[in-house]
Amino acid sequence: MSFIDLATARYSCRAFTDEPVTQAELDQLLEAVRVAPTAKNTQPVKVWVFRSEEALEKIRACTRCHFGAPLLVLFGADSADEGVFVRPSDGQNAAIGDACIVATHYMLEAEDLGLNTTWVGFFDTKLINEAFPQTVGYDLVGLFPTGHAAPEKGGPSPRHTERKALSEYVEEL
Ligand SMILES: Cc1cc2nc3c(=O)[nH]c(=O)nc-3n(C[C@H](O)[C@H](O)[C@H](O)COP(=O)(O)O)c2cc1C
């Protein structure tokens, strides 16, 4: 499949079956994470995997957007990492952008594996920090319920095909 076909086929899945994600699939998802580019290659990113019953129960209590997935993966940016790229001209810290690139690799690898996911930003950071103290101090950029789409309810929402015209935001200078 070409990249544009894969990117077009991806959609946000909001209902999952109980079928687990295999260890081989998780390994491949994390390999896509590993090869992602980051500014100055400093990789100021943290990834937390939730798949034990105990971890799932705790993370599900932090968001209503878990959609019953059998695996959730959370991405955090470490803006305080001593190596993180900070652009000298304006002080912009690259960590959040880096974490989003890494998370995007994960999201698209899921599609390539025939899995489904959704980038979820609607969670309670305070609850996550309390339930998982390891996450304190990170900018949490996205939580990814991951698995197999449930029949009927697991399809794309009407918003999936709604996009602005490129002419609204692409400008040739
Ligand atoms: C940064 C980010 C945060 C998002 N947060 C949520 C969320 O909390 N809950 C949700 O159901 N979808 C969330 N989405 C999914 C978007 O709503 C979705 O990508 C958009 O409506 C386009 O639909 P599509 O992904 O099916 O193409 C998020 C997407 C992004 C990129």
Reported as a pLDDT band with limits 50, 70 and 90, residue 20 is very high
Q: What integer pLDDT is reported at residue 67 of this predicted model? A: 98
Measured CA to CA, the distance from residue 63 to residue 72 in angstroms comes to 11
- Per-residue pLDDT, averaged over 94-104, amounts to 98
Q: What integer pLDDT is reported at residue 62 of this predicted model? A: 98
* CATH number of the domain residue 55 falls in: 3.40.109.10
How many domains does one find in the chain?
A: 1
Atom 18 of ligand 1: nearest residue by CA position: 12
Q: What integer pLDDT is reported at residue 114 of this predicted model? A: 98
**Does residue 173 fall inside a structural domain?**
no
Q: What residues make up the domain containing 123? A: 3-168
Q: What integer pLDDT is reported at residue 44 of this predicted model? A: 98
Ligand 1, residues at Cβ distance < 6 Å: 11-12, 14, 65, 118-122, 142, 156-157, 159-160
Q: pLDDT tens digits, residue range 38-67?
A: 999 999 999 999 999 999 999 999 999 999
Measured CA to CA, the distance from residue 102 to residue 33 in angstroms comes to 5
**Does residue 107 fall inside a structural domain?**
yes
Q: Which residues have C-beta within 8 Å of that of residue 132, sequence separation ≥ 6?
A: 48, 58, 59
Q: What integer pLDDT is reported at residue 103 of this predicted model? A: 99
Measured CA to CA, the distance from residue 2 to residue 168 in angstroms comes to 26
Query: If you measure from the C-alpha of residue 120 to the centroid of ligand 1, how many angstroms do you get, rounded to a whole number?
Result: 6
Query: If you measure from the C-alpha of residue 88 to the centroid of ligand 1, how many angstroms do you get, rounded to a whole number?
Result: 32
**Does residue 153 fall inside a structural domain?**
yes
Ligand 1 atom closest to the CA of 65, numbered from 1: 9
